[in-house]
Amino acid sequence: MSFALQRVCAFANRSVYASPRSLRTSCPLLHTRPFCAPCFHHPSGPRAMTTTSKTELETFPGVTTTKDPATKDYIFQQTMYRIKDPKRSLDFYTRIIGMNLLTKLDFEEMKFSLYFLGFEDIANIPEEPADRTEWMFARPATLELTHNWGTESDDSFPGYHSGNADPKGYGHIGLAVPDVDAACARFEAEGVEFVKRPNDGKMKGIAFIKDPDGYWIEIFSPRETRKFVK
């Protein structure tokens, strides 16, 4: 199967759902239901999370520590979102979030485009298209935005399901920042929509925002996550 056909099998299905329902107030963490983690959902308020020892990480049921040598060079390379309007999404992820556009692939026959973003230094992006494509697909933790042509100008197009309304499934991506309050103050000034601000609910210090398509992004500081673990 050609590369183009492989990509269209994976991405061209638009899978449109109805718009998310209004959020409901019940979770001590966010005052919303869509992603209540059991460790936070407790009548007396959130408790510190418990974690396993390093040794237990290797013996947890289902965990395999003796890896197949074939997986030695595997990396987690991408998360894919379907988007309505690439102009809005690219502005959000490059200007607001600070990512760089690493490459763009157009599939004219199937009428869709793929945009790949990440926090790589733009100076390191190869000039030659084939080199750039290979380089990009070797970067860890990229964001792939799939645009089916025409949705940006189709007023009847309802958008895509974020995973955080019924039927729930996918949740969010996470963005690590040095200072959650400072980051969120900037997001607020830029008009970004919040699901949860840092001081909302009983779990302080983390936030959730939405991108232009309604996908959720958790905002947290790695240093501050220490306080959640006992």
218 annotated to a ligand binding site? yes
Phi, psi (degrees; rounded to nearest 5) at 20:
-60, 150
SS3 188: helix
Catalytic residue among 56, 109, 134, 218: 218
In eight-state DSSP terms, residue 95 is I
**Residue 108 marked in a binding site:** no
Which among 203, 162, 159 has a CA at the least distance from the CA of 180?
203
**Residue 218 appears among annotated catalytic residues:** yes
Q: Are strands 207-210 and 216-220 parallel, antiparallel or unpaired?
A: antiparallel
DSSP state of 20: P
Q: Is 172 annotated as a binding residue?
A: yes
Q: Which is nearest to 147 in space by CA: 173, 178, 111? A: 111
Integer Cα distance of 111 and 125 in angstroms: 26
Q: Is 41 annotated as a binding residue?
A: no
- Annotation: binding site for Zn(2+): 78, 144, 172, 218
- Annotation: binding site: 78, 144, 172, 218
- Residues carrying an active site annotation: 218
